[in-house]
Amino acid sequence: MAALVLAEHDNATLKPSTLNAIAAAAKAGGEVTVLVAGSGCAAVAQAAAQAAGVTKVLLADAPQLADQLAENVAAQALAVAKGYTHILAPATAHGKNVAPRIAAKLDAAQISDIVGVESADTFTRPIYAGNAIATVQSADPVKVITVRTTGFDPVAATGGSAPIENVAAVADAGTSSFVGREIARSDRPELTAAKIVVSGGRGMGSAENFHLLEPLADKLGAALGASRAAVDAGYAPNDWQVGQTGKIVAPQLYVAIGISGAIQHLAGMKDSKVIVAINKDEEAPIFGVADYGLVADLFTAVPELVKELG
Amino acid sequence: MKILVPVKRVVDYNVKVRVKSDQSGVDIANVKMSMNPFDEIAVEEAVRLKEKGVATEIVAVSCGVQACQETLRTAMAIGADRGILVQTDVELQPLAVAKLLAALAAREQPGLVILGKQAIDDDANQTGQMLAALLDRPQATFASKLEVADGKAKVTREVDGGLETIAISLPAVVTTDLRLNEPRYVTLPNIMKAKKKQLDVVKPEDLGVDVTPRLKTLKVSEPPGRKAGVKVPDVATLVAKLKNEAKVI
């Protein structure tokens, strides 16, 4: 058995979600090889080589891989796929984009968003917005898998010293091209990797009011999140959305402010260690999952909370 | 240009499903079924492209049991011109659906296939990408903006950390994210009109596709429960509890 993990990166740094995927790979498929496909991404390969439990790093470095276009990255993975029993990617926007293309070409039924490894061919994954957990068994010779990062503790980022092998890059598919990117720059921790998340919902009332959460996030060193209702209303950017179809988070502390607690929102945060809810509606479903609930007007409670935290 | 829009019949998003006591699956007897919300956004986008004069015909496709005809009628009430049901009682997994759609795309030759990024029942997020791969076509997933011109689609995608824009040459596959559009309300006259639109039924065998499930579901269980905790009277108590009891700050 041997597993191939697709590294998630921006050509400069290895994204932490890769370390969760490596952990799942080690459980499922024995020896772990990491594929770094990108352009000018030698530093990423070096970081991957240091990750604990990695046996080998394959580096495909070419301009046509720079922007992580699905057609080219999937082709690159397929070019090196021979001999692997498991191919895994983190269940991030990038992993979800690329992995099914690889699975289809290998005629394998992909197992999406796994949260557990029962054996080399049996995995658990949430369905129906996390309201049920399915245990599924694959009979395919190659298992193509995306890994929910909150389901696996990351392997250590350092300590390993795997060899790096250069592999030939595939040719550009020529059917897609990169136009531009608007990535928000922020000094706050990344939402999916943060230890504390402060999220706002429709109760925030407006985009201006959302700024009320910033001093609180600053005090706690937290990432900012939002419910779908808040994103749909334009109060918060789309990449802040926590929920079934947004980001899945499981921080040590999740603070839900003005969030009612729709099923699809709970699907994205109910594995958090401690949940705090502040809402003026004492009947709000969020209180059904909150460890600590405060029935209060958020516009007085949040500034008070900032003050109390000193 | 013709647009193919696959639509899936799923348990309505307002229904909280229950796991069956024998762990064989979730209980979907007598629950409300609806079109997958992401697919509704896909139909709406196709109709808007037709209204702009970019698309000439919209073909809605559904794969599954006979009752999926209702889902197709909804798609036609939003504005699809005709429907195709690939009818089977076999449990369909994303790879099988992608193969059925690829076979239909070979027949219909659409310039674009637009479908939801994921179905809210199996939450797999696979079918569009698999279809693109099987057709050897480019893909633009998680679209929040779509412009079609000169044989290309310029698509803004929702990615981790923000937005990304790519250009893909047609024919291509696009999957929808929530912010692409807000689907219109279906009006009664349009529901009546949809009843008269053409709906063809084919079988997987007619398309030469083996739809046998490849993943075996061994069991379906309840997720680990989470109980409601305590209500705290004020902010000071909350902070004290987080510091001394939960020890998370």
Give B4-45 pLDDT, tens digit per residue: 999 999 999 999 899 999 999 999 999 999 999 999 999 999
pLDDT category, A187, cuts 50, 70, 90? confident
Which long-range contacts (C-beta less than 8 Å, at least 24 apart) are formed by A249-252? A249/A150, A249/A191, A249/A192, A249/A194, A249/A197, A249/A225, A250/A150, A251/A194, A251/A195, A251/A196, A251/A197, A251/A223, A252/A195, A252/A196, A252/B248
Rounded mean pLDDT, A223-229: 97
Element (H, E) at B86: strand B82-87
> Can you give the pLDDT at residue B186?
95
**Closest Cα of chain A to B6: distance in Å?**
17
Are the CB atoms for B168 and B138 separated by under 8 Å? yes
Largest CA distance in chain A: 60
Name which of A1-5, A184-188, B26-30, B44-48 the model is least confident about: A184-188
Task: Look at A164-168, A188-192, A212-216, A287-291 and tell me which has the smallest mean pLDDT.
Answer: A188-192
Residue in chain A lying closest to B182 (CA):
A232
pLDDT digits (tens, 9 = 90+) for A53-68: 999 999 999 999 999 9
For A147, the closest chain B residue by CA position comes to B124
* φ/ψ of residue B202, rounded to 5: -125, 165
Name which of A139, A176, A305 is nearest B239 (Cβ-Cβ): A305
pLDDT in tens, B115-124: 999 999 999 9
Strand partners, B153: B148, B168
- Between the alpha carbon of residue A304 and those of residues A60, A213, B94, the distances in Å are 52, 12, 49
Find the farthest-apart pair of alpha carbons in chain B and give their distance in angstroms, rounded: 68
Distance from the Cα of B58 to chain A's closest Cα (Å) equals: 24
| Cβ within 8 Å, pair B126-A179 | no
pTM across the whole model: 0.94
| Kind plus residue range of the DSSP H or E element containing A15 | none
Question: Which of A67, A136, A279 to probe the B interface (max B CBs under 10 A)?
Answer: A136
ipTM of the complex: 0.95
